[in-house]
Amino acid sequence: MTIKFNFYDIYGFALPGFLLLAVLWLPFGLIDNRWPDAEFSSALVGVILAYIAGHVLQQVAGQAIPSSFLENERFPSTVFLDKDDNTFSSEFKQRLADQIHKVFQLDVDLDLPKEAPVEKRKGVDRKRNDAFFLCRSALIKSRTAIYPEQFEGLYALMRGLCAAFGIAVVYYLGWASSGLLHRLVPLTVGSWQWSGPAVLAGILIASFALVNAKRFKNAKSVMIASLMLATLAAGYYLGLSSVKLSEHRAQLIAAAVLSFFAAERCYAGYKRFAEEFARAVYRDFSNYEKPAEHPRANP
């Protein structure tokens, strides 16, 4: 069996997963000087684990960092076709709308004003969203979606990196606070009596919220809060086993601060590449020519 990795596999899953594993291991290397083995077999296992971790990370990131990040939780691909939006010229939007109608028989309603009623806007947005993915599918089928695929991989990469750095912030703060909380609360509820159950409860609640995200209104907020609790408690629990933690507490706090700014920069890059992805799909589809259907010969 041959396993092939495409552009999205590397940028969307492998690299973010590798970063996640790296930030989770950093405290062990920093404090106890324990670093992963560089042998080929260990590296191969690391690549596989990074790929799996990347899939899990993107599932979480897709809920925590949705693609509908513009005003009123709208997608760039729908906003760009608004009458008042200046991303494309009105002539290009009309040409694109005609092309979509010609190929897919869908009306994307370019006359939708910014102050349109919410229900009407949602209906038009659903049609535009369908049209966008049909455009993308047509480009992929015709093997002309080169730049759109690159931008799609890059925005997935930035979203994964943003999520990994966000986890790192809470994780490092958990490590940095390890051994301190028992001074503020009684020993019976301090130490690792609370951290172990907190990790388990956070993971279970977050998993439930992720699976039922479409059924509950506040599922996304519950998932994020639960994951933050589990990550903080995990860092706190792991830090209890390190006798040299106090010597590196300031470094862990500095790592958390740097991770926060890295997450912010990655989020800005994610938004930019997501918008470029939508632009690239529409620009390429405006020149799309539907393949001619060849009549089948009679047997």
Q: What is the pLDDT of residues 7-37, one digit of tens each?
A: 788 898 999 999 999 999 999 988 888 777 7
Of all residues in the chain, the percent with pLDDT exceeding 70 is 88
Contact (CB, 8 A) for 276 and 151: yes
What average pLDDT does range 131-141 have in this prediction? 91
Band of pLDDT at residue 39, cut at 50, 70 and 90? low
Structure confidence by residue, pLDDT tens digits, 60-84 = 898 889 888 888 888 999 999 998 8
Structure confidence by residue, pLDDT tens digits, 190-237 = 444 678 888 999 999 988 888 887 777 788 889 999 999 999 999 998
Residues 74, 80, 81, 82: is their CA dihedral positive or negative? Answer: positive
118 part of a folded domain? yes
Band of pLDDT at residue 189, cut at 50, 70 and 90? very low
CA–CA dist 150, 11 (Å, integer): 9
Q: At what angle are helices 146-177 and 15-32 packed, to 10 degrees?
A: 20
35 part of a folded domain? no
The whole-chain average pLDDT of the chain stands at 85
Residue of 164 and 31 predicted with greater confidence: 164
Residue of 196 and 179 predicted with greater confidence: 196
Q: Which residues contact 280 (CB under 8 A, 6 or more apart)?
A: 147, 148, 151
37 part of a folded domain? no
105 part of a folded domain? yes
4 part of a folded domain? no
* pLDDT in the model for residue 88: 94
Band of pLDDT at residue 4, cut at 50, 70 and 90? low
240 part of a folded domain? no
CA–CA dist 129, 162 (Å, integer): 25
Instruction: Name the residue type at position 54.
Output: G
215 part of a folded domain? no
- Split into its structural domains, the chain has a count of 1
95 lies in which domain range?
76-143
138 part of a folded domain? yes
SS (H, E, C) the chain: CCCCCCHHHHHHHHHHHHHHHHHHHHHHHHHHCCCCCCCHHHHHHHHHHHHHHHHHHHHHHHHHCCCCCEHHHECHHHHCCCCCCCCCCHHHHHHHHHHHHHHHCCCCCCCCCCCCCHHHHHHHHHHHHHHHHHHHHHHHHCCCCHHHHHHHHHHHHHHHHHHHHHHHHHHHHHHHHCCCHHHCCCCCCCCHHHHHHHHHHHHHHHHHHHHCCCCCCCHHHHHHHHHHHHHHHHHHHHHCCCCCHHHHHHHHHHHHHHHHHHHHHHHHHHHHHHHHHHHHHHHHHCCCCCCCCCCCCCC
Least-confidence region, from 9-23, 245-259, 284-298: 284-298
* pLDDT in the model for residue 38: 64
* pLDDT in the model for residue 1: 38
CA-wise closest residue to 278 among 101, 84, 80: 80
Of all residues in the chain, the percent with pLDDT exceeding 90 is 49
CA–CA dist 256, 136 (Å, integer): 38
Q: What angle do CA 142, 148, 152 make, to 5 degrees?
A: 125
